[in-house]
Amino acid sequence: MHRIERDRARFREIVRGRLRSDLRKYLSTSELLGRRGEHSVTIPIPQIELPRFHFGDNSKSGVGQGQGEKGQPVEGEAKDGEGAGGAGEEAGHHVLEVEVELEELARMLGEELELPNIEPRGDKALVADGGRYTGVRDTGPKSLRHFRRTFRNALRRTIAEGLFDPRDPEVIPMPEDERFRWKKRAPKPDSSAVIFHVMDVSGSMGREQKDVVRIKAFWIDTWLRSQYQNIEVVYIVHDAVAKIVDQQSFFSLRESGGTKISSAYELLLQLVRDKYRPEDWNLYPFHYSDGDNWSARDTERCVSILRDELLPRVNQFCYGQVKSAYGSGQFKKDLDTGLEGQEKLVTASVNDRDGIADAIRMFLGKGR
Amino acid sequence: MAGKTELPPQLRHEAARIERIARAAGLDFGDVAFEMVDARDVNALAAYGGFPVRYPSWRFGMDFERLDKGRQYGLSRIYELVINTDPAYAWLVRTNSDMEQKLVIAHVLGHADFFKHNVWFQPTDRKMLDRMADHGTRIRRAIDLHGQDAVEAFMDSALVLDNLLDPFLPLREHMKVRAAGAQGGASTVGSSFEAVRERALGSSSSRPPTFDVLGFLAERAPLPEWQRELLRIVRAEAYYFLPQRMTKIMNEGWASFWHSRILTGGVLDASEVVEFADCHSGATASSPGNLNPYKLGIEMFRAAEERGLDLFRLRRVHNDASFVDEIVDEEFVARNALFLFGKNGRTGRTEVVDREARAVKERLLQDLSWGGLPQIELVDDDHAGRGELILRHHHDGRDLQLSHAAETLKSLSRLWGASVHFETREESSVRWISSDGAEIRTGERPYERTG
């Protein structure tokens, strides 16, 4: 049914507007995680409600039907709009799900945080053919003729020539009126990118800290996916030793014990040398930790790996320090002093969920 | 709607047979136009309140989205949809089984009879399909002239007020017109009768005190003509749907009573009886926190029949509230295991509070009276000589959702162009909410007239 599709499209447009204005809220909740499919995210939004005069909470009572003595709990809360219960007017609590393309979500994120597009590294800015038929020009094949624009031009010309008669509105397009759609090329930095999510899973990283990491990783992935056609994600966890894990374990693992950050950096370096060579890949390591390292000596080692090996090879190295009750937060200070002036290193500290948006902006705001 | 919509020959034959049986049983209905549609289409129709020609609005898109998700996930299913027009249009869903189609046809005839005879439906416009199409054209034209955003914003602000109605107004006016017609001695010809009715509905509400706030605004609010027209449309449609709200239990009960009687009276094949029982009991199933209007309605008609009452008279003169008042008694409450539930303040659980018939009945009446809406009256349109409105909520023990009420008031104030004040109660204490269209103030009684 054609008509309902238009109303539905309008509704979805409104929802997108809502989503855009509420994006900050989604930036700090884990609501969207686990709702990501291959190309889109399903986002739960409360049904848009028009306020009305209607009965409120203390009318959460009514007449029901069934067995049970006084004081026995009633199973199944009164459903909206049903029964004679006072809830007749309360059609407001359904949750709707809307599907949003990942690309669109990334665009919203980009607008919200004012993220620049990523400049491809080096001179190997291969341009992949992309783009959509959103342009208009005055030559082209008949099959791509833009009907409305063509007739608008014809109408304009007819009026200008004084030939237009509203009682007999005859408009005949001439060749010069014709307009055609054409494909606007939207060059994307081609080639491939790999994201390394490296997380400290030592005893001091609690559930909340991991959630913060998780939300941050989700948005970073979303953004980088919109910037590269081909992207791989590698998950690494470390305590005193580092290992590669799958996505699921990355978010659920809880190791305990000491923290040797250098172990992760060494693993990274090995991967960069053997598998993801900088000539072929844009490299984005993200390291999340609460900033507690085993020893000052290990920290020194980390600094030197970064300075001599990793930083020259990667697009950008991001260190996000999540505040925890146990962590000293020393590592960020050490990086900042030890690697002062290194442009490719970005460090940010996140105190709580509200800080996620700022951290993401710091990480992705340089367009590297 | 894609594809053919006429019934296949065999079903057409069944429909004719069921119509004959229904008429023989005493049902009386006008023409019913049956059409077959896909499950998706019926959801679209339902989103439009049964009128495929309605004006464009995102709200219909939202309702459709919800209904269609429900269908896709297998959570909800619509079997049929029938609208109160002449002829009545009834949409049957293509995916129904043969047995279900028969049931649905009989059910629809019950509704058609109800529409034709129930007194609350007498004032409704049977040409509503044309009327809705006309509304659609007008609103589309407004969009062309004033832009989608402007029209949408105005419609949203008008729709939040669409339950500020007087449920008894249409019937009252209808009676007046009828009495006037009888006095004049002339039989009222269709069109002129319509015209009289139209005038009556238009002019009755221009002064407070009135419950027809929407009518008051449509007439008296300082609005540009196109907005006034939109407001009239919102009001006309709201009044059209009001009787359905006031008779939902009766209407569904009546239709279910008759589909059950007709089908078990020889229409079903022996092989279909179990499927029928399954489908029928599914539709009339009740769960504790949830009163099923089909179930309550059919039980009330059955009880009435046992008592030897005239069912056809009952379906003519009552609405849900008065019907409950007539039928529900101690025995009915006990037999149907009705109870009163409420929230236990201590545990936060919802639980059975009372099984006493009087309490149950009182609560039912409260829920059903006034069309299930809060009773809100416009009491003054020139408060303190400043042209400000005062509305009063007739509190019956059920509080309003105050934050929504405040937002609604804001909308109202923008339409009216001056401050509005609203008196309600929370538990037992009086609450005042005022808005000047931008801000909301609570707690203060508006200043009294000075001097």
Instruction: Summarize pLDDT for A155-206 with one digit per residue, the tens.
Output: 999 988 888 888 888 889 998 899 999 887 665 555 678 899 998 888 778 7
Q: Please list, in sequence order, all residues whose beta carbon lies within 8 angstroms of the beta carbon of residue A112, skipping any fewer than 6 positions away.
A: A20, A23, A24, A27, A357
Which of B162, B289, B398 is nearest residue A77 as measured by Cβ atoms? Answer: B289
- Rounded Cα distance between B322 and B313, Å, is 13
DSSP A294-341: S-HHHHHHHHHHIIIIIHHHSS-EEEEEEP-SS---HHHHHHHHHTTT
Same-domain check for residues B139 and B215: yes
Confidence of residue A46 (pLDDT cuts 50, 70, 90): low
Mean pLDDT across A128-153: 84
CA dist list (Å): B72 to A46, B39, B43, B66: 19, 10, 11, 10
Rounded CA separation B47/B410 (Å): 27
* Residues B446, B322: Cα–Cα separation, whole Å: 37
B432 and B288 fall within a common domain: no
The last residue of a domain, from among B246, B280, B312: B246
B162 in the same domain as B265: no
- In terms of Cα–Cα distance, which of A302, A294, A318, A327 is closest to A205? A327
Encoded tokens for A358: 């700022």
Residue type, A9: A
Give the SS3 label for residue A123.
Answer: coil
Q: Where are the beta strands (DSSP E) in B249-344?
A: 338-343
Cis amide leading into B87 (omega within 30): yes
More confident residue, A3 or B88: B88
Residues B166 and B203 occupy one common structural domain:
yes
B356 falls within a domain? no
DSSP B193-255: HHHHHHHHHHHTTSSSSBS-HHHHHHHHS---HHHHHHHHHHHHHHHHHHHHHHTHHHHHHHH
Report the number of distinct structural domains present in chain B.
Answer: 3
Q: Are the beta carbons of A78 and A60 closer than 8 angstroms? A: yes
| B39 interfacial to chain A (CB closer than 8 Å) | no
**Beta carbons within 10 angstroms of residue B16's beta carbon:** 11
The confidence score (pLDDT) of residue B160 equals 93
pLDDT digit string, tens, across residues A294-305: 888 888 889 989
Pair of tokens at residue A211: 């959630």
Give me the tens of pLDDT residue by residue for chain B, a chain 451 residues long.
Answer: 445 788 999 999 999 999 999 999 999 999 999 999 999 999 999 999 999 999 999 999 988 988 888 888 777 888 999 999 999 999 999 999 999 999 999 999 999 999 999 999 999 999 999 999 999 999 999 999 999 999 999 999 999 999 999 999 999 989 888 888 776 554 444 444 455 445 545 555 568 899 999 999 999 999 999 999 999 999 999 999 999 999 999 999 999 999 999 999 888 888 888 888 888 888 888 777 678 899 999 999 999 999 999 999 999 999 999 999 999 999 999 999 999 988 877 777 788 888 999 999 999 999 999 999 999 999 999 888 889 999 999 998 888 988 889 999 999 999 999 999 999 998 888 999 999 988 998 876 776 644 3
Would you say the C-alpha torsion A336, A339, A340, A345 has a positive or negative sign? negative
Query: Is residue B238 located within the same domain as residue B251?
Result: no
The answer, for A76 touching chain B at a CB cutoff of 8 Å, is yes
CA distance B6 to A359: 62
Question: CA A214 to CA A237: how far, in whole Å?
Answer: 13
Structure ipTM:
0.86
pLDDT attached to residue B330 = 95
B192 in a domain, yes or no?
Answer: yes
What is the residue whose two structure tokens read 């929370």? B426
Whether B300 contacts B324, CB under 8 Å:
yes
Predicted local confidence at residue A89, as pLDDT: 32
Closest in A4, A74, A89 to B341, CB measured: A74
Confidence (pLDDT) at A187: 58
* Helical pair B9-24 and B98-117, crossing angle rounded to 10 deg: 40
At residue A59, the pLDDT reads 53
Interface-testing mutation among A3, A6, A7, with chain B (most B C-beta atoms within 10 A): A7
Residue B56, domain member (yes or no): yes
Contact across the interface for B402 and A66, Cβ inside 8 Å: no
Does some domain include residue B252? Answer: yes
Note the pLDDT of residue B177: 85
Residue A12 touches chain B, beta carbons under 8 Å = yes
CA–CA separation, A229 and A105 (whole Å): 16
Position B169 in a domain? yes
Clarify whether residues B74 and B183 are in a common domain.
no
B109 near A CB under 8 A? no
Phi then psi for B343, rounded to 5 degrees?
-85, 130
Residue A312 identity? P
Among candidate residues B288, B404, B285, B400, the one with its CA nearest the CA of residue B342? B288
Q: Please tell me whether residue B359 adopts helix, strand or coil conformation.
A: helix
Contact A224, A195 (CB under 8 A): yes
Token representation of residue A227: 């910037």
* Closest residue in A to B285 (Cα–Cα): A65
Residue B318 domain-assigned? no
**In chain A, pLDDT over 90 holds for what percent of residues?**
12
Question: What would the two tokens of residue A141 be?
Answer: 């094949």
Q: The whole model's pTM is what?
A: 0.75
Q: State the best of B42, B62, B394 to mutate against chain A, taking most chain A CBs within 10 Å.
A: B62
Same domain (yes/no): B39, B136: no
Query: Mutate which of A2, A3, A4 to test chain B, going by most B C-beta atoms within 10 A?
Result: A4
Number of CB atoms found within 10 A of residue A87's CB: 25
From B231, B246, B261, the end of a domain falls on B246
| One domain, residues B47 and B33 | yes
Closest residue of chain A to B342, computed from CA coordinates: A61
B263 and B114 inside one domain: yes
What pLDDT is attached to residue A47?
64
**Chain segment A322-362, per-residue pLDDT in tens:** 888 776 778 888 888 888 888 888 888 888 888 888 888 88
> What percent of chain A lies above the pLDDT cut of 70?
85
Q: Which of B246, B278, B307 is the last residue of a domain?
A: B246
Chain-centre distance for alpha carbon B363? 20
Angle at the Cα of A148 from the Cα atoms of A145 and A152, rounded to 5 degrees: 115
Q: Is B416 exposed, middle or buried (0-12, 13-18, 19+ CB in 10 A)?
A: buried
Q: What domains lie within chain A, and their CATH numbers?
A: 1-49+91-101 (no CATH), 132-184 (no CATH), 188-364 (3.40.50.410)
- Say yes or no to pLDDT of A208 above 90: no
> How many whole angstroms separate alpha carbon A269 and alpha carbon B327?
82
Give the torsion sign (CA, B359, B363, B364, B369): positive
Beta-sheet pairing, A132-137 with A127-128: unpaired
Note the residue count of chain A. 368
Side chain identity, residue A126: L
* Whether B191 and B253 share a structural domain: no
Q: What is the pLDDT of residue B85?
A: 95
Phi then psi for residue A121, to 5 deg, are -80, 145
Q: What is the rounded CA–CA span in Å between residue A200 and residue A235?
A: 11
Surface-to-core class of residue B444, CB atoms within 10 Å of its CB (0-12 exposed, 13-18 middle, 19+ buried): exposed
Residue pair B177/B200 in contact by the 8 Å Cβ criterion:
yes
Question: Do B238 and B255 share a structural domain?
Answer: no
In this prediction, residue A62 has a pLDDT band, given cuts at 50, 70 and 90, of confident
Whether the predicted pLDDT of A56 surpasses 90: no
Whole-angstrom Cα distance, residue B50 to residue B243?
Answer: 15
Sign of dihedral through CA atoms B214, B220, B221, B225?
positive
User: Range of B187's domain?
Assistant: 128-246
Statement to judge: residues B227 and B259 lie in one domain? no
- A contacts of B164 (beta carbons < 8 Å): 53
Residue whose tokens read 């509304």: B135
Q: Is residue B345 part of a domain?
A: no
Residue B316 in domain: no
